[in-house]
Amino acid sequence: MTHHSSQVSADLIWEIARHQNSYLVKRASSGGVRFSRDPLNLTNVHSRKYAGFVNDKAIGVAPAEGDKGGVMLITKKTKHPQRPGSSVNKVTFGGNKTTRKTYKGIVSSTAKSGYRSDLRAEAVSRASAIRLSQTPKKDAPEKKLRGAKAKKAAAEKDE
């Protein structure tokens, strides 16, 4: 994470680091879109609202390690900004939990700790996308014959 000082505001850090930082990914295609690789960025969009390395109270959601999958909630501690190694708190919601309990845990843990309420919907949608990517995909069912082809197949089956 980045170095924060009590004498430097988050807005000043953003103005200095917004054009060039280690999390920024620029794409020449699609009109020069900018993405973010910040682990505390919920939407991976390079903007002041979602920049986790700038905001004092940032939330991140990542896939949990392990066989069963699950989601890991990453929250940034504001108590000791000068200690970047211990300024992150990680809570894992296992893959054996229901999705509703996972979402409720994410929302309640961020609400009780006073984290930004405007990021809760993005945190839940990110957790939902991660859980959806961890489920095994089913094969597409065989297409049923319709109309004249169905009548022809039924006639052939009767004979």
pLDDT 10s digit of each residue in the chain, 159 long? 455 556 788 889 889 988 888 888 888 888 888 888 888 899 988 889 988 888 888 899 999 988 788 999 999 887 776 676 788 889 999 988 899 999 999 999 989 888 888 999 999 999 999 999 998 889 999 999 999 999 999 999 887
Where are the chain's structural domains?
10-134
| Cβ-proximal residues to 132 (8 Å cutoff; 6+ apart), any chain | none
Q: Which fold, 10-134?
A: Enolase-like; domain 1 (3.30.390)
Smallest CA-to-CA distance from 55 within 93, 23, 32 is with 23
